[in-house]
Amino acid sequence: MDRLSGLPKTILHDILARLSDKDAAKTIALSKAWRDTWYSFPNLSVCSGDFFTIHDIVPGSSHRFSKMHILFDYVTKRLLRLRDQGLAIKELKLSLTNLLNPTRGSHHVDQWIQMASENGVKVLELHLTGGCIGRDYSQDNWYDLPLCVIEAKSLAKLELAGGIRIDQEFLNHSMKFSSVKSLFLSQVLFTHERIIEHLISHCTLIEHLTMNYCSVYNHLSTEDPLVQRSHRVKSLFLNGLQKLKDVDV
């Protein structure tokens, strides 16, 4: 056994954390000790570009579903292994391109977020591109953030970017975001104007707030075209956030 393999798991995990997810995964070929370390590594960072390109998922591509399913199976098995071992999922970072709609992978992402939220996740990052086509609110081109995310009691950093929609159902629940210190929102659609302040008001320890190109959708509007039924977020009520250090809106 090499000297590194004999180090405590916490140190080996720290080594893996300094590598890209792709390089960290290669360590399983080094030894059984490194394989066990990888399977207990609590950080999962996945970029769909490491599994397939945009050309692989266009209609008619022979690799369209096989490569997508490789990604789905990989993430699901990693998270299930951690959960079944009773280990925390500390970080879940997902960067997904042209992947999420009802016929593709949105239900998989729902499942991943739920497992992470129930297993002590501290960092949750979800970056989507290609999921929302323009600003067409009449079609299911947005990914609906699952309600289970409010159960992430240990969450310290929440980052949402891309065509993500937060439904007004969130208004009916108290969010358990008392540990959140960093909140980043970009190209997020709120279906009710009160959701934004409801979300922020539950982040009592928040220190860093970033909100770019977020919109509120008015269901009651009869404007045509549909794109005119939304408006950019123009103001925020930030009273009572005593830990707040910087805001970028």
> Is the pLDDT confidence value at 127 over 90?
yes
The answer to whether the CB of 111 falls within 8 A of the CB of 77 is no
User: Highest mean pLDDT range out of 24-33, 152-161, 232-241?
Assistant: 152-161
Mean pLDDT, the chain, as a whole number? 82
Given this model, what pLDDT does residue 32 score?
A: 84
Residue-wise pLDDT tens digits, 167-179: 999 999 888 898 9
Given this model, what pLDDT does residue 222 score?
A: 54
Given this model, what pLDDT does residue 123 score?
A: 97
Q: Residues in the chain, how many? A: 249
> Is the pLDDT confidence value at 191 over 80?
yes
**Helix segments in 26-181, DSSP class H:** 32-39, 64-84, 106-118
Residue-wise pLDDT tens digits, 201-215: 899 999 999 999 999
Domain ranges, ordered by start, for the chain: 42-247
User: Highest mean pLDDT range out of 6-10, 20-24, 93-97?
Assistant: 93-97
Report percent pLDDT > 90 for the chain.
Answer: 38
Burial of 64 (0-12, 13-18, 19+ CB in 10 A): middle
